[in-house]
Amino acid sequence: MTTPVFDDEIAGKAFDARLMRRMLRFLTPYRALFGVCVALTIVLAGVELAIPYFSKTAIDRDMTLPYAIVTLDAPPSSGDALALGDGRYLIRPANVPEALRAAWERTGALGSERYAFEPEDDRAASSVVARNPEAFTPVPGGAIATQKDLASLPPRDLDTLRGGALAGIARLAILYAFALLVRFAFAVLQVYLLEYTGQRVMYDMRREIFRHVLRLPLSFFDRTPVGRLVTRATNDVAAINELFTSMLVNLFRDAFLVVGIVIVIFQLEWRLALIVLALFPLIVLAAWQFRNRARSAYREVRKQLARLNAYLQESISGMRIIQAFVQEAQANRSFLGINTAKFDADMRQIMTFAVFRPLMSFLSSFAVALVLWYGGPSVIRGGLSLGALTAFIQYVRMLFEPVLNLSEGYNVLQAAMASSERIFRLLDEPEEDRGGDEHVEEFRGRVEFRNVWFAYSEGDWILKDVSFTAAPGERVAIVGPTGAGKTTIIRILFRMYPIQKGEVLIDGRPIESYDLAALRSQMAVVLQDVFLFAGDVMDNIRLRSDIPEEKAIEAARFVSADFVEALPDGYATEVKERGATLSVGERQLLSFARAVAFDPRILVLDEATASIDSHTEHVIQSSLRKIMEGRTSIVIAHRLSTIRESDKILVLHHGSVVEEGTHEELVAAGGLYAALYELQFADVGSGGAASGD
């Protein structure tokens, strides 16, 4: 019995005051709205509580007759009793004090039949009595009749006598309808306000997470899967919203309802209430047990489903291997095993619900039976009115739902706590260092690497003692085999990663001394794998900046990206599926236009290696030449023309600069560059490399 409790603690604390405080901070701007929601919720719960009173009033006031006969030795000490002779008195039991009624109950003095009393001085009533003498028993000052007697009257006479009750019922029905409308209006208002608040809170959370993520250093992204960040900003936020909109508010409602119902039933009949409350621990225990089991069953189902989906996904990805190794039967067996485990988990969940839901219904019925058994005699003795008994039954049935809700709210709370912990851990990640406060209007464009050592992970040097200089306006080509560290040089220049040893200088100052935004905004990069964002062509040229359209178009024309104007919607053409509809060359031209639009002093290029048709190739070459004009450019070069026209060529191998010089010098040296040149650029009919000019 105690294990589930420990289980909770292992699974994560259900309540952590520090996390809760941080979460509530997001609610602070909307506290007034939230307060209104809570108030509305309580009003609604009040209406809920009042509803059984309508039928109680109808039954007690209008649908049953008010008088009873008590047989006593002496006139009753209180209440306006009417002596009928033989020690019998006509009284209204509802007006008799409790203590006295209890005394009559013990002696059996109070009769169970109820009567209507029609006084002589009511003219309409006495004329009905006169017309139907067989239905009435004359008493001093009027006549009495039982419900059965009344039913024998002609309808018009009955309506005359019971007109008040009929009107009372009609008024009650109208009042009830009015209460329903109020409940409807308040409920709608409450849901809207609450959801609105929840949506605002989620909006703020997503905004803050997104803002923070964009400012994290690149090293963070290297070690964090994209999917995890997506989950933080979406699913985890939704789990917290659950807490605010469903759990927190319902907590007020359910607590209010439970307390309200208990108070009301004590008012109605405290002994009966005590009997029902004796069942309460049983209800709470059942709800608690149910909650624990339902949760662990649910977790098991989720776990098995995740396993199943993972296996399925892996099978689809690895289908070639399964088929190549003729392991279809084996894979099918494994899948059947997992599928069966999922089915078993489902069945366990069904069992849990199949036991507890009906059990709760049973307990509810049991409570009703108890009320009938104990309350019945009480009604006869007059201690409990018939209306009160039916109301009591309704309240007892109402009691179960909030108890179950409260126990289920615990799950929501726990999930929200877990999500908030993950979110806050992300928000606590240190942001990228924004650099020094050096704001330079315009770089001259001198780039220098001085004995730079760099490793992504400690000890695994990617760049080893790299030194080179690019004078303002100079063009430097970097060549070398894959994995030599070419791309890393670009990343370091943009200060995406801090270096371990050495210095990177721009215009003679270390890059760390510049304001990060100022530094990057003076450089532009064109990557081989052009990353296009969802949006139109214009968005992809100017990104999210406020560069005017004309300037963007000018940039596109400058790089001869004429194809844009031939697109169906020109610059407003949607870029679909990350640019899959555009050719490699077109994407490349777009990224050139992007770089030109930002008008950088230093241009960094990672040339595309993919083969491009000769026309596009020609366009790209001349565009490239144009955009590098007058700018310091550092190019990871694959094309002969780019390399040949460079002022300087660096040959990078295993993180070191192994050769440096102009094309002619390096070919003459007969080293690695010469061999590379031989393979890729000597005139062969086909192959990956393009022929250039």
Binding residues for other proteins restricted to 622-681, rule: CB under 8 A = 653-654, 658, 671-672, 674-676, 678-679
Q: Are strands 68-71 and 88-91 parallel, antiparallel or unpaired?
A: antiparallel
- Confirm or reject binding of residue 350 to other proteins (CB under 8 A): yes
Q: Which pair of tokens denotes residue 670?
A: 């007969």
Question: Is residue 316 at the binding interface for other proteins, with CB under 8 A as the rule?
Answer: yes
Q: At its nearest, how many Å lie between other proteins and the CB of residue 184? A: 4
Q: Output the six-digit token pair for 470.
A: 């690019």
Of the candidate residues 77, 78, 137, 147, the single one contacting other proteins (CB under 8 A): 147
Q: Is 162 in the site for other proteins (CB under 8 A)?
A: yes
Residues 8, 13, 55, 512: which binds other proteins (CB under 8 A)? 55
Among 87, 133, 141, 358, binds other proteins (CB under 8 A): 358
Is 102 a residue that touches other proteins (CB under 8 A)?
Answer: no
Residue 13 vs 117, nearer CB to other proteins: 117
H or E, element range at 476 = strand 475-479
| 39 binds other proteins per the rule CB under 8 A | no
Q: Is 92 exposed, middle or buried (0-12, 13-18, 19+ CB in 10 A)?
A: middle
Nearer to other proteins, 234 or 622 (CB): 234
Is residue 551 close enough to count as binding other proteins by CB under 8 A? no
CA dihedral 187, 192, 197, 202 (to 10 degrees): 120
Per CB under 8 A, the list member of 296, 315, 528, 691 interacting with other proteins is 315
Residue 86 Rama label (left phi>0; alpha psi -120 to 50; beta): left
Please pick, from the candidates 373, 570, 581, 668, the single residue that binds other proteins as defined by CB under 8 A: 373
Give φ, ψ of 121 to 5 degrees.
-75, 0
C-alpha to C-alpha distance for 483 and 100, rounded to whole angstroms: 100
Among 234, 451, 469, 500, binds other proteins (CB under 8 A): 234
* Residue numbers 182-201 binding other proteins by CB under 8 A: 183-184, 187-188, 191-192, 195-196, 199-200
Which one, 17 or 316, has the nearer CB to other proteins? 316
Candidates 10, 99, 214, 580; binder of other proteins (CB under 8 A) is 214
Minimum Å distance from CB 587 to other proteins?
13
- Number of residues in contact with other proteins under rule CB under 8 A: 150
* Residues between 4 and 23 with contacts to other proteins, criterion CB under 8 A: none
**Cα 496 to Cα 518: distance, rounded to the nearest angstrom:** 14
Q: Which of 523, 537, 538, 690 binds other proteins (CB under 8 A)?
A: 523
Nearest CA among 412, 405, 397 for reference residue 48: 397
Q: At what angle do helices 155-214 and 17-27 cross, to 10 degrees?
A: 100
Rounded to the nearest whole angstrom, what is the least distance from the CB of residue 112 to other proteins in the complex?
Answer: 3
Nearer to other proteins by Cβ, of 135 and 417: the residue is 135
Which residue of 525, 555, 584, 602 would you call a contact of other proteins, by CB under 8 A? 525
Burial level of 498, CB count in 10 A (0-12/13-18/19+)?
Answer: middle
What is the smallest separation between the CB atom of 288 and other proteins, expressed in angstroms? 19
Question: Judged by CB under 8 A, which of 33, 43, 84, 165 binds other proteins?
Answer: 165
Beta bridge partners of 89: 70, 83
Supply the DSSP string of 86-114, one letter for each residue: TTEEEE-GGGS-HHHHHHHHHHT-B-S--
- Based on the shown chain and the rule CB under 8 A, indicate whether residue 497 belongs to the binding site for other proteins: no
Minimal CA–CA distance to 100: which of 81, 76, 73?
76
Q: Taking the CA of residue 613 as centre, how many other CA atoms within 13 Å lie in the half-sphere pointing to its CB? A: 4
Toward other proteins, which CB reaches closer, 95 or 313? 313
Q: Which stretch binds other proteins (CB under 8 A): 259-267, 330-338, 438-446, 468-476?
A: 330-338
Residue among 255, 262, 368, 667 that touches other proteins (CB under 8 A) = 368
Among 78, 95, 309, 581, binds other proteins (CB under 8 A): 309
Per CB under 8 A, does 321 bind other proteins? yes
The residue among 15 and 531 lying less far from other proteins, judged by its C-beta, is 531
Q: Helix or strand or coil: residue 662? A: coil
| Shorter beta-carbon distance to other proteins: residue 139 or 153 | 153
- When asked if residue 59 is in the footprint of other proteins (CB under 8 A), the reply is yes
272 belongs to the binding site for other proteins (CB under 8 A): no
Of residues 499, 500, 486, 470, the one with CA closest to residue 657: 486
353 touching other proteins, by CB under 8 A: yes
The helix/strand count (H/E) of the chain reads as 25, 18
Amino acid at the residue 97: P
Q: Which of 114, 450, 509, 551 binds other proteins (CB under 8 A)?
A: 114
Smallest distance from other proteins to CB 28, Å: 18
- In the complex with other proteins, which residue's Cβ is closer, 65 or 277? 65
* Helix, strand, or coil (residue 467): strand
Q: Can you tell me whether residue 465 is helix, strand or coil?
A: strand
Helix (H, G, I), strand (E, B) or coil at 570: helix
CA 574 to chain centroid, in Å, comes to: 30
Q: How far is the CB of 5 from other proteins (least distance, A)?
A: 27
Which CB, 362 or 424, lies closer to other proteins?
362
Distance CA 335, CA 338 (A): 5
569 to 608: interface string for other proteins, x by CB under 8 A: -------------------------x---x----------
Instruction: Please count the other Cβ atoms lying within 10 Å of the Cβ belonging to residue 368.
Output: 17
Beta carbons of 636 and 478 less than 8 angstroms apart = yes
Can you name the residues that pair with 448 across neighbouring β-strands? 469, 505
Q: Cβ-count burial of 192 within 10 angstroms (0-12 exposed, 13-18 middle, 19+ buried)?
A: exposed
550 class by beta-carbon count within 10 Å (0-12 exposed, 13-18 middle, 19+ buried): exposed
Which CB atom, from 8 or from 300, has the smaller least distance to other proteins?
300
Nearer to other proteins, 391 or 477 (CB): 391
In the complex, least distance from residue 15 CB atom to other proteins, rounded to whole angstroms: 27
The torsion defined by the Cα of 183, 184, 187 and 189, in degrees rounded to 10, comes to: -120
Interhelix angle 614-628/549-558, nearest 10 degrees = 120
Q: Which is nearer to other proteins, 107 or 199 (CB)?
A: 199
Eight-state DSSP code of residue 233: I
- CB closer to other proteins out of 248 and 526: 526
Gap between the terminal Cα atoms of the chain: 82
Q: Does 43 bind other proteins (CB under 8 A)?
A: no
Torsion of CA 28, 34, 36, 39, to 10 degrees: -120
Report 462-491 residues binding other proteins (CB under 8 A): 481, 491
Residue 381 host element (H or E): none
Nearer residue to other proteins within complex by CB, 77 or 137: 137
Q: Among 15, 270, 424, 533, indicate the residue that binds other proteins (CB under 8 A).
A: 533
For residues 419 to 458, the per-residue mask of contacts with other proteins, x marking binding by CB under 8 A and - elsewhere, is ----------------------------------------
* Helical pair 31-57 and 155-214, crossing angle rounded to 10 deg: 160
Least CB distance to other proteins at residue 524 (A): 7
Question: What does the per-residue mask of binding to other proteins show for 64-93, with x meaning CB under 8 A?
Answer: x-----------------------------
